[in-house]
Amino acid sequence: MAETTKMAEDTKTDFDPNIVAFLCNWCSYAGADLAGTSRIQYPPNVRVIRVMCSGRVNPLFVMNALQQGADGVLISGCHPGDCHYMQGNYFARRRFNLMRNFLEYVGIEPERVRMSWVSASEGAKWKEVIEEVVEGVKSVGPMDSFKRRQLNW
Amino acid sequence: MVDINKLREIAKEVISRDDVRQVIGYRPGTYGFRARPAFVLEPDDVDELIFTPACVNNLATYITLEEKLPVPRGQEPDSRKVAVMVKGCDSRALVQQMEEKAYDREHLLILGIPCRGVVDMDKVNARFPDVLEKGEIALEGDKFVISFNGTKEEVAKDELLADKCKRCRYPTPLVSDQLLDDEVERFAEDDYSDIETLEKRSQDEKWAYWEEKLSRCTRCYACRNVCPMCYCEDCVLNRIEPMWMRRSVDVSENTAYHIARAYHLAGRCIQCGECQRVCPMDIPIMELNRKFYKDVADLYDYEPGTDAEASPLLSTFSVDDREDFIL
């Protein structure tokens, strides 16, 4: 019994989280690219999905990612005022503020759903953001509350 | 309370008009204390109309629920008005629908009923079980007078009053062409104490609470169908591609469904409580909706269903919106 509790604690901190990142084409994706070309080392837990704008990200994407086994979701876009489409990131900001609060209310830790502004020149900030997100997800452990389970018939 | 004769008189006047197609109101149900929606098409049918505290349904649903069949070539669509009786809470659904431009104001003729509160049918049935013959409920002062089978009983208002009425802030309809009674002053306030107690729990406790509640869901979609704000012609739930949540009934898909349903009502839910009323599994759906209602009021100072001229919350933004959660 004691061993299993210890094992549970171990998996909570020492696991490789899956993080799905929705990056906007114009800023954050280029920022992540810059981090890559500048050979900045950051945790390899992020799976990037490129979208045209952070305003494209539907809250259902987040919910679906968590259901399909992501331990955390990151949405990243241009800084306010820098959006390629003028206002997309403002809409996204409203949506995900509500979504985050709501998921916290239902019992999904707020560390799992993060949002950031990373511009195309901020490769170093991208590293910091990823480090913080990975650390946050590791602190709350694997996502298994409402993950979709495969049934073994 | 509304004078029943006056109500029928006005309804008769309205349905006799050439530019009115139908009056949507309430009539007694077939058994017990229930009332059900009535669709009056002829002036002679107004005699069945009633309004009592048993009239819990939100009739605003039927405005958008009505199926619009294609019109044969050469014929004009029926552009006559629909008259609808609304309580204070229901009128906010109309305001919100108009804010979203679901239809024109000219489409409607609104008969407003200032409301002092309706009963919660579950509470009534618990108190008076197995009443099969027709019964009546009336509100006199701060007591409900329940009469059935020759007996008459008085019950304190608080005991049977629906929860939504205990925090009703708009008892008088916010929009109406004709009021059927004198205006009612605000008699309750909303302090969100139920939401705040839930918010204070730890993450594990919250999930345990919602896991238990949501695992009960049978996905009958009654909450979606009854909702006056759920009127999309193409609902995400009916889509095969992409299938956002599967049809299977388990905790994962149920949670996904309830998150999606509640989120689609963010900044739109007008607190009529119909979803929770129709839920056959007693899931506290309003606790989900009220969380958004509270957040929207706190963060964006916006109240759905109060101003038909305003822009819907999530299709606008302010440059100064909060962003302390952003890395």
Domain ranges of chain A: 17-140
- Residue in chain A closest to B316 (alpha carbons) equals A91
* C-alpha angle B141-B147-B149 in degrees, rounded to nearest 5: 175
pLDDT at residue number B132: 84
- Supply B270's token pair: 């007008």
Residues B75 and B171 in one domain: yes
CA distance A147 to B239: 21
| Cα-based distances in Å from A98 to A69, B53, B300 | 22, 35, 10
A28 pLDDT more than 90: yes
User: Residue B150: how many CA atoms within 13 Å on its side-chain side?
Assistant: 0
Residues B166 and B258 in one domain: no
Cis peptide bond prior to B242, omega within 30° of 0: yes
CA distance B94 to B110: 9
CA distance B254 to B248: 8
Contact criterion met (CB below 8 Å) for B299 and B313: no
CA distance A21 to B162: 44
Residues B171 and B42 in one domain: yes
Q: What is the mean pLDDT of residues B58-87?
A: 90
- Residue in chain A closest to B237 (alpha carbons) equals A60
> What was the ipTM of the complex prediction?
0.90
Residues B90 and B237 in one domain: no
Which amino acid belongs to residue B109? L
Radius of gyration, alpha carbons of chain B: 21
Task: Give the pLDDT band (50/70/90) at residue B66.
Answer: confident
What is the Cα B134 distance to its own chain's centre? 25
- Give me chain A's average pLDDT, please: 89
CA distance B128 to B224: 29
Partners of B256 on chain A (C-beta within 8 Å) are 63-64, 67, 146
Q: Shortest Cα distance from A33 to chain B (angstroms)?
A: 19
Which amino acid belongs to residue B263? Y
* Domain total in chain B: 2
Pairing mode, strands A19-24 and A46-51: parallel
Task: Give the pLDDT band (50/70/90) at residue A9.
Answer: low
Q: What is the mean pLDDT of residues A38-54?
A: 94
Partners of A147 on chain B (C-beta within 8 Å) are 252
pLDDT at residue number A1: 47
Q: Cβ of A94 and B314 within 8 Å?
A: yes
Which amino acid belongs to residue A56? R
Asked, for residue B320, whether it belongs to a domain, the answer is no
* Interface test with chain A among B199, B200, B203, by most A beta carbons within 10 Å: B203
Residues 27-86 of A with CB under 8 A from B: 59-60, 63-64, 67, 80-81
CA distance A39 to B242: 37
Residues B71 and B207 in one domain: no
Q: What is the mean pLDDT of residues B166-172?
A: 91
Facing residue for B327 by CB, picked from A97, A105, A114: A114
Task: Give the pLDDT band (50/70/90) at residue A5.
Answer: low
Pairing mode, strands B81-86 and B20-28: parallel
Partners of B263 on chain A (C-beta within 8 Å) are 59-60, 98-99, 102
Residues B173 and B208 in one domain: no
Instruction: Answer with the one of B179, B212, B238 that is the final residue of a domain.
Output: B179
Asked, for residue B326, whether it belongs to a domain, the answer is no
Task: Give the pLDDT band (50/70/90) at residue B186.
Answer: confident
Name the DSSP letter for residue B102: S
Range of the domain at B86: 4-179
Q: Is A127 part of the contact surface with chain B (CB cutoff 8 Å)?
A: no
pLDDT at residue number B31: 87
Asked, for residue B200, whether it belongs to a domain, the answer is yes
As beta bridge partners, residue A19 has A46, A72
Q: Shortest Cα distance from A60 to chain B (angstroms)?
A: 7
Q: Which fold has domain A17-140?
A: Rossmann fold (3.40.50)
Partners of B197 on chain A (C-beta within 8 Å) are none
Q: Is A103 part of the contact surface with chain B (CB cutoff 8 Å)?
A: yes
Q: Shortest Cα distance from B249 to chain A (angstroms)?
A: 11
Asked, for residue B20, whether it belongs to a domain, the answer is yes
Q: Cβ of B210 and A93 within 8 Å?
A: no
pLDDT at residue number A20: 96
Asked, for residue B216, whether it belongs to a domain, the answer is yes
CA distance A57 to B134: 53
CA distance A95 to B30: 45
Q: Shortest Cα distance from A142 to chain B (angstroms)?
A: 13
- Residue in chain B closest to A147 (alpha carbons) equals B252
Residues B126 and B209 in one domain: no
A148 pLDDT more than 80: yes
Query: Counting beta carbons within 10 angstroms of the beta carbon of residue B37, is it exposed (0 to 12), middle (13 to 18) or buried (19 or more)?
Result: middle
pLDDT at residue number B133: 85
Partners of A132 on chain B (C-beta within 8 Å) are 327
CA distance A18 to B193: 37
Q: Cβ of B207 and A105 within 8 Å?
A: no
Facing residue for A116 by CB, picked from B263, B296, B327: B327
- Supply B289's token pair: 């909706």
Facing residue for B291 by CB, picked from A94, A96, A105: A105
- Supply A42's token pair: 């950051």
How many residues are given for chain A? 153
Residues B207 and B111 in one domain: no
- Supply B98's token pair: 């108009």
* C-alpha angle B97-B100-B101 in degrees, rounded to nearest 5: 90
Q: Cβ of A80 and B319 within 8 Å?
A: yes
Residues B266 and B242 in one domain: yes
3-class secondary structure, B290: helix
Facing residue for B317 by CB, picked from A67, A91, A146: A91
